[in-house]
Chains A and B, each alone.
Chain A
Amino acid sequence: MNKNHQQQFIAMGLLALCLIAVVLGVIQLASKPTDVKASGSEQPGGKRLLGGDSRLAYISIEGMIMEEATESSPFASEPSSVRARKLLYYAAKDPSIKGVLIRLNSPGGTVGMSQELYNAVLAVRKVKPVVASMGDVAASGAYYTAAAADKIVANPGTLTASIGVILQSVNAQQLMNDKLGVKAITIKSGQFKDILSPYRQPTDAELKLLQNIIDTSYKQFLAAVIDGRTKGMNDAEKKNELIQRIVSVADGRVVIGEEAVKVGLVDELGGLEEAKGILQKLAAKRFNIARPEKLTLQEYDTSFTIWDFFGMGANVKIPALAKQANALTSPPQMIPASLRYANQPLWMMESYR
């Protein structure tokens, strides 16, 4: 190898080293979380490539709680509740996370997904403190999720509770048969196979069956809420009193934050800053941390889309905000949410948007 070739070989090696370092740097930057402040401003996060400092994770659940068919890809974020479920389990195992703050802004959603989120919160609660902070709405399935947390903090005007189950369907028999002359032909293997068919009146047996499902689901809901709210309470009298108060409002009604504290559905009134303070104290106590104020609250989100890379990810990452923006430009939908997700029980506050 002559001198010139040798020089070129060394130069190529040095350039390759720089190139690899650039690629690693960009990957590291892409996986960087951001600090979350009550004001909503964001600052550089402190996640470390190898391990990291003690911190509190901020996980948000927005919009309808449900599992859609969309998968996370470089072009789209997965639904908020699906992402939250995954992140809760990550946070439970992440040694640098000393506590989790769940920020809820949701009217609820499907039963199964709400239960999965509840279980995910319980899994975190076993190993580190969890505080639920409610935004504008944290009703039904969203309240159910919050009930698994150590503490619930809500704004005085937050709409919450809505403890109950709803299932709706449409009976279009007259329209189809009498007006349009359309008759359905149904061949079924059992009497309940076409339950809630819009082409006919439901039978008594069907209504009884559905009511049984709704009642069972409601019992599950109420039991989980009571279990979550009374966990760790030793005073039997106080415990019973709390259960009575919860049951008294567990009729599907929406409760405002201020009232929810009195009833015992919520522990304290406050916003994100207050919730953060409570979580810092709980985490400091649990992990013997001398200075709780040093625990920073950071957005715990590892998903990163191609849109984020080009600085256009806000609408994709915050579906609730995107929907609100669309609402300004499109006519209101006069179909209740429960009918848009017809024929399935929902733990959801009814809405027409």
Chain B
Amino acid sequence: MSFLTLFYNILLNPSETMLDISDGAASKDRLLGYATLIVLVVSALGGIYSPFNATAAGLPFKILLAGISGLLCWVFTGTVIATTAYVFGKNGRPQTILSLTALATMPWLFLPVAMLFKPLGSVGYGVAIIISLGLWAWSTILFLMAVKHTYHLTLERVLLATSLPILMTFLGIAWVSGFFINLFKFLS
């Protein structure tokens, strides 16, 4: 599958395309390469349109930094999902979840188009916000689809599975803070 075909199908026919990739019906040649490229480009766009960018000063470094952190974030997210799935006995290839979660970020490629409206007064600002929220929703739906098709889950299970890391984070914070609270109790 060429990059352009993949780009078209993920945006306009995502469910079927992701299922094909997950089941191995679609060719996985260069898929991880495409996925890495998409993550890099989307992260770089995040660097360009960062709210902390007052001017273009130092932009290449910011883009480089955003690209590296984006890649790390992507691998971390994929690892967390794959680990959670493994714990619950679901087998899916790590490459598949990595590729599909990367493809799920594709709508963010349209962020520059949304940002073009931002300088056009308050109406343009509103349009930019609405488009950005739309891109966020679109990308989230694709992300849920990626998890669904990689591990062949129902929608309810997908929602539970994706919220588990968040819930586990809260548990982790409570556990660590509990340790320090008890430590202070002994020391005081």
Interface residues of A (CB under 8 A from B): 4, 7-8, 10-12, 14-15, 17-18, 21-22, 24-26, 28-30, 32, 34, 42-45, 48-50, 304, 308-311, 313
Contact = CB atoms under 8 A, between A and B. Distances in A.
Given A22-B45, A310-B61, A7 B5 contact: yes
Interface in B46-95: 48-49, 53-61
A49 B59 CA distance: 20
Contacts, number: 85
B54 A311 contact: no
B5 A8 contact: yes
Interface residues of B, number: 28
B54 A26 contact: no
A42 B57 CA distance: 13
Nearest to B7: A11
A22 B57 CA distance: 16
B129 interface: no
Given A14-B7, A26-B59, A44-B54, 15 more contacts: A7-B5, A11-B4, A15-B4, A18-B112, A22-B45, A26-B56, A29-B48, A29-B59, A34-B55, A42-B54, A49-B119, A50-B121, A309-B60, A311-B59, A311-B61
A50 B121 CA distance: 8
Interface of B: 2, 4-5, 7-9, 11, 45, 48-49, 53-61, 109-110, 112-113, 115-116, 119-121
A48 B109 CA distance: 23
Given A18-B113, A34-B55, A309-B56, A28 B8 contact: no
A310 B58 contact: yes
A22 B48 CA distance: 9
Contacts of A49: 119-120
Contacts of A21: 112-113, 115-116
27 contacts: A7-B5, A7-B8, A7-B9, A8-B5, A10-B8, A11-B7, A18-B109, A18-B113, A22-B48, A24-B116, A25-B49, A26-B56, A29-B53, A29-B56, A30-B55, A30-B56, A34-B54, A42-B54, A45-B54, A48-B120, A309-B56, A309-B58, A309-B59, A310-B58, A310-B61, A311-B57, A311-B61
A154 B53 CA distance: 33
A55 B60 CA distance: 30
Contacts of A8: 2, 4-5, 8
B103 to A, nearest CB: 13
Contacts of A4: 5
Of the candidates A12, A15, A21, A32, the one having the most CB atoms from chain B within 10 angstroms of its own CB is A21
